[in-house]
Amino acid sequence: MKTSVVWFRKSLRLHDNPALRAACQNDSTDSILPLFIIDPDEVGQNFQKLSPNRFRFLIESLFDLDRQLSSKYDSRLLLIQGKPEDVFSNIEDQMGKSFDSLYCEYSSEPWERKKLFSVQHTLSEKNENLQVHSFGSFHTILDLEKVISSTGFRNPKSMKDIDKLFSSNFTKNENGFYEIDNPLPEPEKIKPFPKIPEFNSLSIEQLSDLICDHSGADILSTKSYFPGGETEALSRLNTKVSGRVEYVNSFRKPKTMSTNSSGEPMEPTTTGLSPYLSTGCLSVRMLWKECEKCQLQGDHTLPPESLHGQLMFREMFYLLSRSVENWDQDTSNEMCKEIEWEKFSPDKMKAWENGQTGFPFIDAMMRQLHTTGWMHHLARHAVSCFLTRGQLWQNWKFGRDVFERKLLDSDWALNNGNWLWLAGVAPFSMPYFRLYNPCPDSKSSLNVETKTAEFIKYWVPELKDFPPKYILEPHLAPPSVQSDSNCMIGQDYPNPIVNRKESAKQNLAKFKNSLAQRKSA
C-alpha cells in the first residue's frame, strides 16, 4: 500500500489545489493523508504569536476543511503539533516505505523555504526514493521563482512595472484580458485515508482547548463577523463579487469608504475577501476569474483602482518580498530608507494599539481591528501614518508587529510592503510630506462619513451622544457640550496624546533631516 501525504500549508481549501489534485491523479498511490502542522515557530510555543481573532479564524478554517473532507470524500484532516521536519521524520519512521510521496504548495517566505528544504533533506536521508512535489503559482498568480530568475528581471515599484511583468508572462486574449489559468475544480474523488497510527495528533477541539488554556481567551465563545473557512469564502465571493456585476465594474479602491457601509458598521465597502486570500481559503485565481466574468459584461474600471489592479499590487509585494533581502527590516533593505525613529515608547504604543489616543477616528479604527481582526485599507493608511511620520514618530516595525498579530488578513509579504509604503520609506511610497489628517473631514481622501459619525460612535461609545460637529476633535467642544454629551474629555475619554499639528511639523523636519544625513554619509 502506497500513501501520499498532502501537506496543507497556507492554502486551506479544496478548490484550485494543485498539490491535492496531483496526489489524486497519482495512479501508484493507494491512500492520501491530508495533513496540517501546527508549527510552534508560526504560532508560538505558548500560542502567543497570534491574536484570539486570528486563532479563531484558523480553527474555523481547519474545521471547515476537515468537515468537507469527511462529508465529500469520507476522509479527514490530520492535525499534528511540532516542527515540520520532526513531524515528517516521525511519519516516515512509523509508515516506512508505504509513505512514498509528499505533495505541498510552494511558500515564498524565507523561513518557509528553509522549512521545506529541511523537510526534503530529512526525508531524503531516510528514504532516497521518497518523492517531494512542491507546486508554485499556488498562493499567487505569478510563479515567483520563475519570474525573479528570468533574464532582465528588475524589482517592480509601480503598477506600470508589475503590468510589464504580467505582459512578459501572460498573453492577452481578444478581449484584452490576460490569459490567466482557470482555477482547478475540487477533486471528484480522494483516495481513502490510510490506516495509520495517530502520531500524537490533535482533534480540532483539542487544539482549540490548548489555545484557550494558554491564551486565557475562549476563542470560540463569540461569533466572528468574518467566519473562517473555504465554505464562507466561496459564499462571500458569490455575494460580493460574482453576483454584483455593477459593483465590480465600477469598483475604485480609493473611493471606497473607510467607515464601512452606511447603516452597517461591521460590513466593509470593499469585498472583505482579504482574510480568505491570506489563509488560502480562496484562490486568487478564482477571484481574478470571477472579476473577469463581470468585466466582460460591460465597461469597467482599470488597474490600479480596479479589483484586478489590487490583485496585481498583491503580486508586486509578493515578488518584492521574495527578491529583496531583509524585506522585513529597516536596515540593509534596499526598499527602505533608514530613518532615525524614536525608540520604542510603551505609552505611545499602548495608547495607539488600544484605541486611546484621544483622536476618535484613529481610536475607532484600532478598536475595530482589536474586535474584528479587520480594518479598511484607508484606515490602515491613517493609523500607520499617525504612528510613524505623522504624529507619534515610532518605527514602522512596531506597528507592523501589531498588525501581524491581529489582522485576519495578515500576510508577511503584504504587511511589510504596506508599512514600508505608508511610513514613507519605500521607493514606491507617496512623498513623505503628504500626511493623513487624523481628524479628517468629509472631503478627506480617507472617505469618512461625518454627517452622523455613526461608525465612530459605534466603536468609541464614550462619544455616542456627541454632536457630529465635534466628534473628530471632542477636546475642542465647549464644556457644556461635553457635559450634555455625558463625556468629559480627559475623564471619560482621553485628551489627544499629542498636538497633531505641532507633532506633524516636527516629524516632517526630522524626516527631512534624517534623509539629508543619510545622503551626506
Is the pLDDT assigned to residue 261 strictly greater than 90? no
Q: What is the pLDDT of residues 283-297, one digit of tens each?
A: 999 999 999 999 999
Q: Residues 10-20: pLDDT tens digits? A: 999 999 999 99
Regarding whether 387 and 267 lie in a shared domain, the answer is no
Cα-based distances in Å from 384 to 16, 365, 392, 433, 495: 34, 11, 10, 14, 20
Rounded to an integer, what distance in angstroms lies between the CA atom of residue 183 and that of residue 8? Answer: 17
Residues 237 and 297 in one domain: yes
pLDDT in tens, 463-480: 999 999 999 999 999 999
Question: Rounded distance, CA 271 to CA 269, Å?
Answer: 7
Residues 275 and 374 in one domain: no
Asked if residue 225 is part of any domain, the answer here is: no
> What CA–CA distance (Å, rounded) separates 162 from 485?
51
**Per DSSP, what are the bridge partners of residue 261?**
264
The Cα–Cα gap between 240 and 336 comes to 36
| pLDDT 10s digits, 168-206 | 999 999 999 999 999 999 999 999 999 887 678 999 999
Percent of residues, the chain, with pLDDT higher than 90: 90
Domain count across the chain: 3
217-252, pLDDT tens digit by residue?
777 766 788 999 999 999 999 999 998 999 999 999
Spatial CB neighbours of 228, under 8 Å, sequence gap ≥ 6: 56, 57, 58, 59, 60, 61, 63, 64, 275, 279, 281
Residue 172 counted as domain residue: no
First-residue to last-residue Cα distance in the chain: 66
- Among 174, 190, 215, the domain-final residue is 215
144 beta partners: none
**Pair (361, 264) in one structural domain:** no
446-469 average pLDDT score: 96
Same domain, residue pair 499 and 353: yes
312, 303 contact by CB (below 8 A):
yes
pLDDT at 212: 87
Q: Are residues 130 and 20 located together in one domain of the fold?
A: yes
Minimal CA–CA distance to 156: which of 312, 36, 35? 312
Residue 224 domain-assigned? no
Q: Are 208 and 356 part of one and the same domain?
A: no
Residue 197: the pLDDT is: 76
Whether residue 134 is predicted with pLDDT greater than 80 in this model: the reply is: yes
Burial-class residue 41 by CB neighbours within 10 Å (0-12, 13-18, 19+).
exposed
13 neighbors 65 (Cβ within 8 angstroms): yes
Question: How far is the C-alpha of 136 from the C-alpha of 147, rounded, in Å?
Answer: 11
Per-residue pLDDT reduced to its tens digit, 321-361: 999 999 999 999 999 999 999 999 999 999 999 999 999 99
- Residues 6 or more apart whose Cβ sits within 8 Å of residue 192: 30, 31, 32, 74, 75
Tell me how far apart the alpha carbons of residues 8 and 229 are, in angstroms, rounded to a whole number. Answer: 13
Distance CA 189, CA 97 (A): 24
Closest CA to 22 of 190, 140, 229: 190
Average pLDDT, the chain: 95
User: Does residue 186 lie in a domain region?
Assistant: no
Q: What cell does 150 get?
A: 528570468
Q: Are residues 468 and 378 in the same domain?
A: yes
Cα 415 to chain center, whole Å?
7
The answer to whether the beta carbons of residues 26 and 52 sit under 8 Å apart is: no
Domain range enclosing 255:
230-323
The H helix count followed by the E strand count for the chain is 21, 5
**44-72: average pLDDT:** 95
What pLDDT digit, counting tens, does each position of 43-54 carry? 999 999 999 999
In angstroms, the CA 277 to CA 318 distance is 13
The CATH number given to whatever domain includes residue 298 is 1.25.40.80
> What does the radius of gyration of the chain's CA atoms come to, in whole angstroms?
24
Distances (CA, A) of 318 to 69, 107, 109, 378, 413: 30, 10, 9, 21, 5
**Edge-first strand listing for the sheet containing 78-81:** 78-81, 31-38, 3-8, 99-105, 131-135
Q: Quick one: pLDDT at residue 521?
A: 64
Say if residues 462 and 472 touch (Cβ distance below 8 Å).
Answer: no
**359 plus 504 within the same structural domain:** yes
What is the reported pLDDT for 213? Answer: 87
pLDDT of residue 96: 84
